[in-house]
């Protein structure tokens, strides 16, 4: 397996082997972030293909001082929003509000026992659905930060790089998102597994 530095050097040289390795290492992360943005698997597949094609064609715009993963998340997020705009699913003025909670069946947060307990699985899915609805009531920035932290497990610094925000702003958005979700979900401890300031 190639490390990040080798992949970057290979992509810069248009090396097909490096590109295949890049796709293999990042395809799941790109797909799931695309799914968060566009809300359904078919469109997420389309966006993922578009992202990797865009990377292959325009890797020259990548800043070699930046982290490859953070840059790729930003490309994916923007591609998802562009995809939604092209489909005219949302008004131009509120395009960022199209960021949807992941629609997969598994529990996204802290439900490690759900996979062996059908009752826990059902409960986790109910909680996930409630969180998805509650996320519709936070700001686009709060939603984006929350999804990148809790669904994609990015650190605050990585989220800041991805969304072009300061780390302080990321912390503030994440804190506000979690507090709003707690209110929407009707219990102060229902989001107990959600971190608000993890670095």
The CA–CA distances, whole Å, from 68 to 6, 60, 93, 162, 190 equal: 11, 13, 30, 10, 34
Find the Cα–Cα–Cα–Cα dihedral 106, 110, 111, 115, rounded to 10°. Answer: 60
Whether the predicted pLDDT of 197 surpasses 80: no
Phi, psi at 151, each rounded to 5°: -105, -25
Q: What percent of the chain has pLDDT over 90?
A: 14
Average pLDDT over residues 28-51: 87
Same domain flag for 171 and 121: yes
pLDDT band per the 50, 70, 90 thresholds, residue 77: confident
> Per the domain annotation, does 39 fall within a domain?
yes
Which CATH number covers residue 122?
1.10.10.10
**pLDDT greater than 70 at residue 107:** no
In Å, what is the CA distance from 172 to each residue of 44, 176, 178?
A: 29, 6, 10
What letter would DSSP give residue 10? H
pLDDT grade, residue 124 (50/70/90)?
A: low
- DSSP-derived letter for residue 60 is G
pLDDT of residue 53 exceeding 50, the answer is yes
Mean pLDDT score, 140-146: 83
Q: What is the pLDDT at residue 171? A: 93
Are 90 and 9 within one domain?
yes
Question: Tell me, what's the pLDDT at 190?
Answer: 43
User: What's CA 182's distance to the chain center, in Å?
Assistant: 21
Higher pLDDT, 40 or 172: 172
> Is residue 91 over pLDDT 50?
no
pLDDT at 128 (0 to 100): 67
Structural domain that includes position 144: 114-185
d(CA 27, CA 21): 10
């Amino acid at each position: 397996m190639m490390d990040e530095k080798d992949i970057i050097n290979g992509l810069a040289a248009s090396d097909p082997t490096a590109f295949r390795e890049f796709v293999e290492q990042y395809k799941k992360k790109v797909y799931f972030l695309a799914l968060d943005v566009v809300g359904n698997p078919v469109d997420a597949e389309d966006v993922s293909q578009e992202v990797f094609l865009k990377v292959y064609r325009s890797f020259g715009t990548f800043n070699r001082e930046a982290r490859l993963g953070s840059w790729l998340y930003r490309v994916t997020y923007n591609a998802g929003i562009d995809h939604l705009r092209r489909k005219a699913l949302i008004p131009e003025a509120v395009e960022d509000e199209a960021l949807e909670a992941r629609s997969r069946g598994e529990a996204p947060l802290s439900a490690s026992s759900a996979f062996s307990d059908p009752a826990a699985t059902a409960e986790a899915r109910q909680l996930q659905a409630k969180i998805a609805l509650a996320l519709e009531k936070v700001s686009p920035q709060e939603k984006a930060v929350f999804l990148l932290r809790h669904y994609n497990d990015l650190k605050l610094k990585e989220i800041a790089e991805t969304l072009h925000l300061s780390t302080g702003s990321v912390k503030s958005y994440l804190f506000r998102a979690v507090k709003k979700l707690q209110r929407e979900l009707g219990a102060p401890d229902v989001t107990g597994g959600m971190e608000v300031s993890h670095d």
